[in-house]
Structure 1
């Protein structure tokens, strides 16, 4: 075979396209969204295949929100992060992984859904737990994950503190209340799902404080063994999302990662979100699933604590209010 023919064949095989390589995304998320993304991911994969012709696979990583953020900062190559507090994405922005204006990249402050903190109690509510004041009564065991590693724990802490403020209390009274509350916490799990396991399977505690969607999923799984209790007031718990710029640009997958997060805002995505007891932004989905979401007076982190950065510095940084409170436990 002549050298010229070999060269021509080499050019032919080099130029002939093969099947496009599958595109892989990694969604690093918080603890209690496992079930949500089990439904979101195949819906997006099918939609993206239909509209673009590309085949995508999506892997998930779950854990305490702040712990997950640290893993990404330490090198876990997340394409996107779907967290439960803005503070964790700000942390990634400070490490140069996410653009500083991430909150403006998607609607609603880049939070496609939200939740709030409610209570899960055992069948019949034997300890008659109805509001925040009941959680500090002697002998009540409260299950809350660690606010140092879990956004779930942070929201629970801030919801309790803010409830005192919203009732007209001052900072000293709020601190005293939260100190009493954590004296009633027998174990601090690293994340929200671990706390749920402690309460439901290890059967520790009288009440679990966690996200509304988590308690509803427990009710679905365990039936009549548990009841949901809504406090008179609670905190608005938004779930922000962001593309991890440094990773998607390195892997050339920005278009796909952005489309994935945009899908969360679509009517199809919002419908799935509402089915999982997460409060949607879509008016259509909110109306359709209105029976799933009990009205509750909500306050924001900005309103009571001056924003997440202020709350983090005062309450959760090393040597902050939580460390001082927990040292007295």
Structure 2
């Protein structure tokens, strides 16, 4: 039986769990932080069940994927390990805020972020192994997304591509690039478009991006908050966000009220994953954490990603979902702007390019 509750260390989270199998008569349960001496086993008595608890700290718009993925994984893990009961807890928020929470002590077993720099931060803190990208396929990126535009029904402002975001009277909603991966990809998507449109002329590109940012009505604290502001509060003419988030709004809580516009050229966003090894080694959950992330590349998990408009890294699954994930020309931020250290330093540090161009952005 699967249940959903809320609340974890004063953070709003989604928690997915399965009921534990009853412990053998005479055994007492123990938490991960408290150990008891094992009770002598009676001959013929079944072994006591192992109880495992994982915490996945993730970015905000991934909540819908993991809401579906966790029960799939739990069923798979139980079939492979019938004497184990596994619970998966979720924490969601802006990707970089989540990474900082882990860096500051939140006991995550796994980190599933939407920006490589967030995992790199944990690597620099010694929480994640230096070769984390080689631990899983596709440089530890199980699925990707891209930046698209969500507009009002029938697109009254005529938003067709990045250039239209500079039109007079167009009000933009986006996540804040200073604190969220969603916002950074949106900003870098506009900047990458400018470099292509103006033949890598930095001055013209910066002028274009500055004009885009002048039209930003709201910078939200995360991608889901930006969607709520645009769809439910009715603020703005266009939401610049991830493809999967835009499709969720268009097919679910914003159905009939919004349309999706695909730019001709956009940025590829990658969602890397890693084991927080210092935590799992301490808890004894390293093997379970690896199994949890390994299963992201399974066919059921990859199809779930496609069903939620995430682009699977397994090509065969991506190819058979081309109807809902149309081809789009994309660029990798690292190929265009350098390493994430370079990107964060040049664009999003205090006084960086974003601060220079977004004069009305929150600090």
CA distance in 2, matches of 1:137, 1:169: 22
Q: Does 1:40 align with 2:69?
A: yes
Residue of structure 2 in register with 1:288 after alignment: 320
Residue of structure 2 in register with 1:274 after alignment: 306
Distance 1:126 1:105, change over 3 A: same
Residue of structure 2 in register with 1:224 after alignment: 256
Residue of structure 2 in register with 1:203 after alignment: 234
Pairs within 5 Å for 1:122-133: 122-133=152-163
Residue of structure 2 in register with 1:8 after alignment: none
Determine if contact 2:264/2:329 at 8 Å carries over to the other structure: yes
Pairs within 5 Å for 1:46-85: 46-53=75-82, 54-85=84-115
1:136 pairs, out of 132, 157, 166, with: 166
Deviation string 1:218-273 (CA, Å, 9 cap, x unpaired) is 11112221100001100011110000011111101000000100000011111111
Listed as ranges, the gaps of 5+ residues in structure 1 are: 1-10
3-state DSSP of counterpart to 1:49: helix
Residue of structure 1 in register with 2:52 after alignment: 23
CA distance in 1, matches of 2:166, 2:183: 17
Residue of structure 1 in register with 2:276 after alignment: 244
CA distance in 1, matches of 2:95, 2:138: 20
Q: With structure 1 as the length reference, what TM-score do the two structures score?
A: 0.94
Determine if contact 2:194/2:209 at 8 Å carries over to the other structure: no
3-state DSSP of counterpart to 1:224: coil
Q: CA RMSD in A?
A: 1.5
Which is strand-richer, 1 or 2?
2
Residue of structure 1 in register with 2:123 after alignment: 93
Question: Which deviates more from structure 2 when the two are superposed, residues 165-174 or residues 214-223?
Answer: 165-174
1:157 pairs, out of 165, 184, 187, with: 187
Residue of structure 2 in register with 1:171 after alignment: 202
CA distance in 1, matches of 2:260, 2:360: 30
Which is helix-richer, 1 or 2?
1
Cα offset, 1:13, TM superposition: 4.1
Cα offset, 1:282, TM superposition: 1.7
Cα offset, 1:100, TM superposition: 1.4
Residue of structure 2 in register with 1:6 after alignment: none
Determine if contact 2:69/2:301 at 8 Å carries over to the other structure: yes
How many residues align? The count is 319
CA distance in 1, matches of 2:315, 2:217: 41
Listed as ranges, the gaps of 5+ residues in structure 2 are: 1-36
